Amino acid sequence: MLVEEVMKKEVITLPPDAKIETALKLLNKHHIRHIPIVNDHYEVLGIVSDRDVRDASPSIFDQNHSEQLTNEIQTIMSRPVITVHPLDFVEEVAGIFYENEIACVPVTDNQKLIGIVTEKDVLYTLIQLTGIHEQSSQIELRVENKIGTLPKITNLIGEHKVNISSVFIYPDKRHSGKKIIVFRIQTMNPIPVIESLKNHGYEVLWPNIPGVTK
């Protein structure tokens, strides 16, 4: 899935000379956590988070609180800013969030801001990709890491006239040379599929149904 499919196109922005109090009001009004800072050409100069603004906001016991809020937003913005392209993949954005410990990236095209992607957007996309929001059943298998294994299993599932909502594959940490395949199939009764997989020699890890998967 591409970034352009999940990004928010309506982005609240501020110029670098805007006041901190303006950012605070926008964050509260629109219930957002990040504001890109842009110039007149809509190029991204920096970004501020709700935490940046909160840390810059004075305590109620501070007598000079009004002066601090009138400081320009560029004094607290983070820069340089990591950005992504609309044709980047969402999983690449997830990697950026993890490696850089950030929760938001502006989306730019030709150096101009066109959208924004947050951790919440990526998490929701993951939920969609897993198919967990649909009525379905999950089957988890341990298989040898051999060419042709996946199409054999999908063909076997297809013989039961069952659609596959999603497939995830990852290395088996406990068994070198093996993979874990997680299928989500569009049926509330996976027993016939599980029995067929077992009869063809596949190791079913989940669901653990007595008399079927043991």
**CATH number of the domain where residue 57 is located:** 3.10.580.10
Closest CA to 203 of 187, 180, 169: 180
**Judgement on whether residues 177 and 108 belong to the same structural domain of the protein:** no
**What average pLDDT does range 70-74 have in this prediction?**
95
- Residue where a domain terminates, one of 73, 105, 126: 126
**Judgement on whether residues 138 and 106 belong to the same structural domain of the protein:** no
**Judgement on whether residues 97 and 139 belong to the same structural domain of the protein:** no
Closest CA to 34 of 5, 73, 65: 73
Note the pLDDT of residue 64: 55
**Judgement on whether residues 97 and 24 belong to the same structural domain of the protein:** yes
What is the CATH classification number for the domain harbouring 168? 3.30.70.260
**Judgement on whether residues 13 and 98 belong to the same structural domain of the protein:** yes
Q: Is residue 60 over pLDDT 60?
A: no
Note the pLDDT of residue 131: 80
pLDDT, tens digit, 9 for 90 and up, residues 18-49: 999 999 999 999 999 999 999 999 999 999 99
Note the pLDDT of residue 213: 46
Closest CA to 146 of 190, 115, 114, 179: 179
- Residue where a domain terminates, one of 89, 107, 126: 126
Strand ranges, E, within the chain: 34-38, 44-49, 104-109, 112-118, 137-144, 164-171, 178-185, 203-206
Three-class secondary structure of residue 172 per DSSP: coil
Angstrom distance (rounded) from CA 24 to CA 14: 11
Number of structural domains in the chain: 2
Note the pLDDT of residue 61: 46
Q: Is residue 65 over pLDDT 60?
A: no
With a CB cutoff of 8 Å and minimum separation 6, the contacts of 46 are: 16, 36, 37, 74, 77, 78, 79, 81
**Judgement on whether residues 104 and 24 belong to the same structural domain of the protein:** yes
Residues in a beta bridge with 204? 141
DSSP state of 207: S
Note the pLDDT of residue 73: 97
Angstrom distance (rounded) from CA 19 to CA 26: 11
**Judgement on whether residues 40 and 110 belong to the same structural domain of the protein:** yes
Would you list the DSSP string of 5-54?
Answer: HH-BS----B-TTSBHHHHHHHHHHHT-SEEEEE-TT--EEEEEEHHHHH
pLDDT, tens digit, 9 for 90 and up, residues 75-130: 999 999 999 999 999 999 999 999 999 999 999 999 999 999 999 999 998 888 88
Domain extent, residue 7, equals 3-126
Note the pLDDT of residue 83: 98
**Judgement on whether residues 24 and 121 belong to the same structural domain of the protein:** yes
With a CB cutoff of 8 Å and minimum separation 6, the contacts of 144 are: 177, 178, 179
53: exposed, middle or buried (C-beta count within 10 Å: 0-12, 13-18, 19+)?
Answer: buried
Q: Is residue 15 over pLDDT 50?
A: yes
Angstrom distance (rounded) from CA 172 to CA 203: 13
Q: Is residue 210 over pLDDT 70?
A: no
**Judgement on whether residues 167 and 93 belong to the same structural domain of the protein:** no
Confidence label for 63 from pLDDT (cuts 50, 70 and 90) = low
- Residue where a domain terminates, one of 103, 126, 149: 126
More confident site: 172 or 128 = 172
Establish if 19 belongs to a structural domain: yes
pLDDT, tens digit, 9 for 90 and up, residues 138-171: 999 999 999 999 999 999 999 999 999 999 999 9
Establish if 213 belongs to a structural domain: no
Q: Of 142-146, 196-200, 207-211, which gets the smallest average pLDDT?
A: 207-211
Establish if 211 belongs to a structural domain: no
Angstrom distance (rounded) from CA 71 to CA 117: 27
Establish if 212 belongs to a structural domain: no
**Judgement on whether residues 116 and 157 belong to the same structural domain of the protein:** no
Q: Is residue 62 over pLDDT 90?
A: no
Establish if 35 belongs to a structural domain: yes
Three-class secondary structure of residue 138 per DSSP: strand
**Judgement on whether residues 118 and 136 belong to the same structural domain of the protein:** no
**Judgement on whether residues 17 and 58 belong to the same structural domain of the protein:** yes
